[in-house]
Amino acid sequence: MDLDVFVTTHRAEWDRLDALLGRQRRLTGAEADELVSLYQRTATHLSLIQSSAPDPQLTGRLSQLVARARSAVTGTRRASWRDVTRFLTHGFPSAVYRSRRWWVPTALLSTLVSVLLGWWIGTHPDVQATIAAPNELRELTRPGGQYETYYSSHPAASFAAQVWTNNAWAAALCLILGVFLGLPVLWLLFQNMLNLGVGFGLMSSAGRLDTFLGLVLPHGLLELTAVFVAAGTGLRLGWTVVDPGPRSRRTALAEEGRAAIGMAIGLALVLFVSGAIEGFVTPSSLPTWGRIGIGVVAELTFLAYVFVLGGRAARVGETGDVEAAERSATVPTAA
């Protein structure tokens, strides 16, 4: 594309669209029709320039012009409870369902890594010696030690809020950093599995694995699932950078990125539930089977939500992205 020729050919249309958008009075019917036509053509021009001859200054001007025209044509849209309902019943569960081929293997492999690390630490006293001094290890693992008192060391409400904030931030980092080819996501995931493996190994070596599982499973099932979903989605976003498929890389990243932002919000709600369980159920006086039972019910409810509700929404075309009317105009891309 000869950019100078293209600009000379279409500058009058852009100037006319800018003039119509700047009108203080109400547009006539003919002017409104002209504005819509110019908006559609300018959006196409913008897509052509972005894909064929990107020029930062011209792209910035046309992007601003198209955004103003879209606002004038569609009107200012306000979020409503319908949007919240659609997100919770269609957008979020379908986005998690569509990412299942990434987060399910991530969950299985991560769990295996954590178990192997726990076994290695639990069966090798020399490895345990590199973690802490013997008296410190005894303080961690003894009845009433730090592993047990950790969950009741603060008031339940503030502890739940702190846990929720930390976990939501970790999940958001997995989603955001996925764009860097997924490498930071792998590191964050390994850190989580290492921490879990250390607790598993130390408590098992002290003969208190049942106590450890009774403390971790009530909230850990749902919490770790949310982390795995975030990590799997981050890895998927990283792979989109490498292989965007039939879409342009810009379009693919925009679509997957918007879905990832929605998933960050949804996972924050899931982690709020797991944080509440960790703050109120884990340190409670309920029997171990009762506490674990609550965790299992929460986990099965989330999985049913994703695979039943999300699967149904995905099969009718829901992707977790914003509605079509809210997306930027694009032109077809050759496969």
Percentage of the chain lying above the pLDDT 70 cut? 92
Query: pLDDT band at 332, cuts 50/70/90?
Result: very low
pTM above 0.95, yes or no: no
Q: For residue 79, what pLDDT is reported?
A: 57
Q: For residue 154, what pLDDT is reported?
A: 66
Q: Which residue has the tokens 């924050």?
A: 268
Q: Is 84 helix (H, G, I), strand (E, B) or coil?
A: helix
Please state the rounded mean pLDDT for residues 134-163.
80
Q: Which residue has the tokens 């190994």?
A: 201
Answer for the pair 99, 232: CB distance below 8 angstroms, yes or no. Answer: yes
Alpha helices in the chain (DSSP H): 3-21, 29-52, 56-74, 81-86, 92-98, 100-122, 125-131, 134-141, 146-149, 156-177, 183-205, 209-242, 249-276, 288-304, 311-315
DSSP structure string for 89-112? IIIHHHHHHHTHHHHHHHHHHHHH
DSSP structure string for 187-239? HHHHHHHHHHHHHHHHHHHTT-HHHHHHHHHHHHHHHHHHHHHHHHHHHHHHH
Among left, alpha and beta (phi > 0; psi -120 to 50; other), residue 75 is left
Please state the rounded mean pLDDT for residues 23-28.
80
Answer for the pair 232, 102: CB distance below 8 angstroms, yes or no. Answer: yes
Between CA 200 and CA 131 the distance in angstroms is 13
Q: Which residue has the tokens 């955001």?
A: 176
Summarize pLDDT for 214-233 with one digit per residue, the tens: 989 999 999 999 999 999 98
Summarize pLDDT for 172-192 with one digit per residue, the tens: 888 778 878 778 899 989 998
Burial of 66 by CB count in 10 Å (0-12 exposed, 13-18 middle, 19+ buried)? Answer: buried
Sign of CA dihedral 178, 180, 186, 188: negative
Whether the per-residue pLDDT at 326 is higher than 70: the answer is no
Summarize pLDDT for 53-101 with one digit per residue, the tens: 677 788 888 888 888 888 887 765 555 677 788 888 988 999 999 999 9
Q: Work out the angle between the directed axes of helices 209-242 and 183-205 (0-180°, nearest 10).
A: 170
Separation in Å, CA 21 to CA 70, 72, 77, 327: 10, 8, 18, 21
Between CA 142 and CA 186 the distance in angstroms is 33
Whether the per-residue pLDDT at 327 is higher than 50: the answer is no
One-letter amino acid at 263 equals M
For 132, other C-beta atoms within 10 Å of its C-beta total 14
Residues in contact with 323: Cβ distance below 8 Å, sequence separation at least 6, in sequence order: none
Answer for the pair 197, 121: CB distance below 8 angstroms, yes or no. Answer: yes
DSSP state letter for 56: H
Sign of CA dihedral 271, 169, 167, 179: positive
Summarize pLDDT for 101-133 with one digit per residue, the tens: 999 999 999 999 999 999 999 999 999 999 888
Higher pLDDT, 10 or 331: 10
DSSP state letter for 153: S
